[in-house]
């Protein structure tokens, strides 16, 4: 079987001492930042991009991936124990999870979150193993027209799922695409948008841009919000849920995993959307309905399974198509490009060790998380006492050192300061930064594919609707826009995205 041969390659890479160590480091860091409120996976991955530069591409991706899914575990711990979601994707877990903790059932809540996450992680990893090769094979047939339409579709979907105003989100995408064009045009060699600054000859540095927005602008934004005081619920007690609990939750975990795995694949999806959708679904289908919102264990099991499944399957479009579905995946693409690897369907055939090694390490990482998390809960809770006033200067320091080391260019610090101010203003005006980052990563690829598609068709734009696959992508994009513009669904979307 191909699947087993591939997994064999994967485990051979993932099980080297070095990569096991990076996987462990990744999930450990992920858990820590998952616990700490005010610092999320995107920020951490951005801060660690410069470090990953010094590693082999395999180790770099294994480390960064560990942070992303590790954060989903850590986020649930604080959500349950202190009613503070460490991550946005754990917001719904606070509803029933903290109620359980107050009722003295913190242990089983934490236990079921870990078990659900592990189960979901395993299923999602298997799904990647099965789904990725055929998807990549299809993607290899894509011409420039298909790629261009796919990117349009991906960006539209990301916009639709963003919070707040649709117009602002589209504007952020377009601005991101424009920023991606800064620098030397690869085709003509013309310098674009450098405003006489030699520092911009190679474009806006991705690391500086992402750290400015997700590191520094967010620090400035968080500083205004007062410190929250945390009240830790009583003793954690026995962590393993009872057999009755497990039986109650089996359905919830299965449904959460399925829904999360599906939503994770969508552009703009990933862990956040998955957890909200799973909670809503569970509330509607669970029998007997009992009392959601008052400490129902299924209210923990479903979203925690879903966010972990979503976190894993969001790697599928990134790995097979080279299209990032969310900002963390955009960072992964950035990491690949730093190593000179063009993301896309060829990664699987050209670098099987990288591809399958990453997937095998995801499963290993999930296993480590279960083993790591449950006994160390006391330690994580103590971490919560680190005040933000000590944490944020450290974030700024790592961002600055990172932005400098990537090219040893002091100019990049200026770029970072500029985009930090921009990011703050954008956050204040309710303009989500995620679409901007996705647009920035896709900008050059989109221009290149548009240029090639039109070159082949001799300037006839009909090529995008004549190719059936391209047409299908565009129809999906238009459909999404129409659907979102319809008033009833818009209301539903606002409800679903409300935090």
Partner 1 sequence: MRIRAPKDFWAGVMFGGFAVIALLAARGYSVGSAGKMGPGYFPLLLGGVLGVLAAVLIGRSVVLDGEPLPRFHVLPLAVIATAVCLFGFFIEPFGLVVALAVLTVLSAAAGPQFRLPETLALTVALIVFSVGVFVYALKLSIPIWPSGWPSL
Summarize as ranges the residues that interact with partner 1 (CB under 8 A).
50-51, 54, 165, 167-168, 170-171, 174-175, 177-178, 181, 185, 187-188, 190, 192-193, 195, 216, 219-220, 223-224, 389-390, 392-394, 396-397, 399-401, 404-405, 408, 410-414, 416-417, 420-421, 424-426, 428-431, 446-447, 450-451, 454-455, 457-461
CA distance 260 to 270: 8
Nearest distance, CB of residue 344 and partner 1, angstroms: 20
Residue with the two structure tokens 């860091």: 29
Nearer Cβ to partner 1 (189/375): 189
Nearest distance, CB of residue 420 and partner 1, angstroms: 6
Nearer Cβ to partner 1 (355/419): 419
Burial class from Cβ neighbours inside 10 Å (0-12, 13-18, 19+) for residue 169 reads buried
Nearest distance, CB of residue 11 and partner 1, angstroms: 28
Let me know: does 315 contact 30? Beta carbons within 8 Å. Answer: no
Nearer Cβ to partner 1 (217/330): 217
Nearest distance, CB of residue 211 and partner 1, angstroms: 10
Nearer Cβ to partner 1 (92/182): 182
Who's near 20: CB < 8 A, 6+ residues apart? Answer: 14, 364
Nearest distance, CB of residue 343 and partner 1, angstroms: 21
The closest alpha carbon to 357, from 120, 57, 12, 23, belongs to: 12
Strand partners, 148: none
Nearer Cβ to partner 1 (39/277): 39
CA distance 29 to 71: 8
CA distance 458 to 95: 57
Nearest distance, CB of residue 103 and partner 1, angstroms: 35
DSSP string, 383-437: HTTS-HHHHHHHHHHHHHHHHHHHHT-THHHHHHHHHHHHHHHHHHTT--SHHHH
Who's near 273: CB < 8 A, 6+ residues apart? Answer: 161, 263, 266, 310
Nearer Cβ to partner 1 (191/493): 191
Nearest distance, CB of residue 377 and partner 1, angstroms: 26
Note the Cα 239 to chain centre separation in Å.
28
Nearer Cβ to partner 1 (133/334): 334
Q: What is the DSSP letter of 213?
A: I
Nearer Cβ to partner 1 (336/400): 400
Residue spans of beta strands (DSSP E) within 258-377: none
Nearest distance, CB of residue 414 and partner 1, angstroms: 6
Nearest distance, CB of residue 309 and partner 1, angstroms: 34
Nearest distance, CB of residue 431 and partner 1, angstroms: 6
Nearer Cβ to partner 1 (138/178): 178
How far apart are the two ends of the chain, measured CA to CA in Å? 45
Consecutive H or E run containing 363: helix 352-373
Q: Kindly state the tokens that stand for 123.
A: 């299923």
Nearer Cβ to partner 1 (67/266): 67
Nearer Cβ to partner 1 (119/392): 392
Nearer Cβ to partner 1 (3/429): 429
Let me know: does 308 contact 260? Beta carbons within 8 Å. Answer: yes
Who's near 99: CB < 8 A, 6+ residues apart? Answer: 293, 294, 295
CA distance 88 to 432: 14
Nearest distance, CB of residue 17 and partner 1, angstroms: 17
Burial class from Cβ neighbours inside 10 Å (0-12, 13-18, 19+) for residue 486 reads exposed
Q: At what angle do helices 2-14 and 17-35 cross, to 10 degrees?
A: 80
Nearest distance, CB of residue 189 and partner 1, angstroms: 9
HSE toward the beta carbon, residue 349, CA cutoff 13 A: 11
């Amino acid at each position: 079987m191909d699947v087993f041969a591939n997994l064999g390659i994967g485990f051979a890479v993932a099980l080297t001492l070095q990569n096991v160590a990076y996987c462990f480091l990744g999930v450990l860091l992920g858990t820590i930042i998952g616990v700490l409120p005010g610092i999320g996976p995107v920020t951490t991955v951005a801060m660690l991009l410069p470090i990953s530069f010094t590693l082999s591409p395999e180790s770099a991706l294994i480390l960064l991936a560990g942070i992303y899914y590790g954060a989903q575990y850590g986020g649930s711990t604080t959500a349950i124990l202190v009613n503070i979601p460490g991550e946005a994707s754990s917001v719904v877990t606070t509803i029933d999870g903290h109620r359980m903790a107050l009722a003295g059932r913190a242990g089983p809540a934490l236990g079921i979150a870990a078990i659900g996450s592990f189960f979901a992680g395993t299923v999602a990893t298997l799904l990647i193993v099965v789904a990725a090769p055929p998807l990549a094979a299809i993607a290899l047939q894509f011409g420039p027209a298909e790629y261009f339409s796919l990117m349009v579709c991906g960006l539209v979907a990301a916009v639709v799922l963003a919070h707040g105003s649709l117009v602002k989100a589209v504007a952020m995408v377009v601005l991101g695409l424009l920023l991606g064009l800064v620098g030397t045009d690869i085709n003509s060699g013309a310098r674009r948008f450098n405003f006489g600054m030699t520092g911009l000859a190679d474009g806006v540095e991705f690391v500086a841009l992402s750290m400015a927005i997700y590191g520094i602008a967010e620090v400035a934004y968080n500083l205004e919000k007062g410190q929250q005081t945390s009240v830790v619920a009583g003793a954690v007690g026995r962590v393993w849920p009872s057999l009755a609990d497990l039986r109650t939750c089996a359905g919830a975990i299965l449904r959460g995993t399925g829904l999360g795995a599906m939503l994770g694949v969508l552009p703009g999806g990933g862990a956040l959307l998955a957890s909200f959708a799973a909670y809503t679904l569970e509330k509607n289908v669970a029998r007997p309905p009992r009392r959601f919102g008052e400490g129902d264990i299924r209210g923990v099991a479903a979203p925690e399974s879903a966010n972990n499944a979503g976190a894993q399957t969001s790697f599928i479009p990134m790995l097979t198509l080279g299209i990032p579905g969310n900002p963390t995946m955009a960072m992964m693409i950035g990491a690949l490009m730093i190593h000179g690897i063009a993301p896309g369907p060829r990664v699987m055939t050209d670098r099987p060790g990288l591809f399958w090694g990453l997937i095998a390490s995801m499963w290993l990482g999930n296993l480590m998380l279960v083993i790591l998390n449950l006994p160390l809960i006391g330690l994580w809770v103590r971490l919560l006492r680190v005040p933000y006033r000590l944490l944020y200067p450290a974030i700024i320091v790592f961002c600055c050192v990172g932005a400098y080391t990537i090219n040893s260019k002091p100019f990049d610090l200026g770029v970072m300061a500029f985009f930090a101010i921009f990011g703050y203003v954008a956050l204040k005006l309710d303009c989500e930064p995620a679409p901007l980052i996705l647009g920035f990563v896709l900008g050059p690829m989109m221009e290149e594919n548009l240029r090639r598609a039109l070159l082949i068709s001799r300037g006839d734009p009909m090529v995008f609707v004549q190719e059936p696959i391209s047409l299908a992508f565009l129809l999906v994009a238009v459909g999404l826009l129409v659907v979102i513009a319809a008033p009833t669904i818009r209301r539903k979307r606002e409800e679903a995205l409300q935090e």
